[in-house]
Amino acid sequence: MASSPDKISPELPVVLILKPPEVFKVHEELFCQRFHFLRAWESTLPTDQFLTTYAQSIQALFCNSFTPIPAHVIRLLPSLRLIVTSSVGVNHIDLHECRRQGIKVANIAKVFTDDVADIAVGLLIDVLRKVSAGDQYVRSGSRIWSDFPLGYKLGGKRVGIVGLGSIGLEVAKRLEAFGCIVSYNSRMKKPSVPFLHYANVCELALNSDVLIICCSLTEQTYHMINREVLSALGKHGFIVNIARGSIVDEKELVRCLVQGEIGGAGLDVFADEPNVPDDLFELENVVLSPHRGVFTDETMWECYELVSGNLEAFFSNKPLLTMVHNDD
């Protein structure tokens, strides 16, 4: 049963939620057996007033990547000591302010790694082999199947991975099995991997048939995939983005797709979600996914256990399970 937003249960640890993360919606009943949630989104009070009202009771905050936690929110919560996010990335949290206030941050580490790697490969196969386009072609009632355009072979493709972290590495392993030639871009060369390293993402694009975006969104990676990179990828090149929409200059991407300056795209993320550029809807060489790459039944359970475990560790004064080391 939902906890009341205006009555704090003395029996359970209190946790603030500004907007409900997906895993909370899926496993709400189980969460509420272990914690008392202050539900800001259900209150008739303006958010800042709600936070001020309960500020002294809030030691922990639970969020996801779609809920920004800026400095001004943190400053309204003087008792806050923990932020748990049900995402890998933490760019939506003001880490500098957390460090200044002595607030710990925990994420869900590698829980989503396999699922995101799977969706990246799935989007690539779909856009190359025209799976979604073929589905629509058959559903349209066409009986002249020989007119459906040819797709492209996956094996032998030169795939450049932007960001060879845990997700990028799993993508690389999967594509190696398909016979792809993998290279990557990252800030530092990784001696433990056999793939060719490019320090410059434009050079990576120039030597790739496919770019798969797996890096985190930071000030340095914002619009990193720009006109120059897309031009280097070329009209026969494909791009898959399962990271963050704003890593790509979306307006430039749409222009290149519409004008045929790149071959196609598989996109699970967008710059202004849930808004998607209208021009993309008309393109058969673009596969669109509603940023659901991480959401499987199995992973939602793992996420629930990890979020709950971090919260219980905090309230029991034990080490966090997946603490983010905030050294900025």
Residue 59: count other Cβ atoms within 10 Å of its Cβ. 17
Contacts of 91 (CB under 8 A, 6+ apart): 65, 216, 217, 218, 244
Beta bridge partners of 265: 239, 286
Task: Check 244, 282, 305, 312 and give the catalytic one.
Answer: 244
User: Which amino acid is residue 35, in one-letter code?
Assistant: F
Q: What is the DSSP letter of 2?
A: P
* φ, ψ for residue 16, nearest 5 deg: -90, 135
Tokens of 148: 């459906």
Which runs of E-coded beta strand occur in 156-250? 158-162, 181-185, 196-198, 210-213, 238-241
Enumerate the β-bridge partners of residue 62.
84
Considering all CA atoms of the chain, what is the largest pairwise distance in Å, rounded to the nearest integer? 69
Q: DSSP states of 96-122 as a string? A: HHHHHHT-EEE--TTTTHHHHHHHHHH
Which residue matches tokens 């559903």? 139
Strands 60-63 and 82-85: what pairing?
A: parallel
- Is residue 325 flagged as an active site residue? no
Tokens 């202004």 correspond to 272
Which residue in 39, 250, 252, 291 is the catalytic one? 291
CA atoms within 13 A on the CB side of 123: 31
Active-site entry in 72, 96, 236, 273? 273
Contacts of residue 167, Cβ cutoff 8 Å, sequence gap at least 6: 88, 112, 113, 116, 117, 120, 214, 242
273 a catalytic residue: yes
Q: Could you give the residue numbers annotated as active site?
A: 244, 273, 291
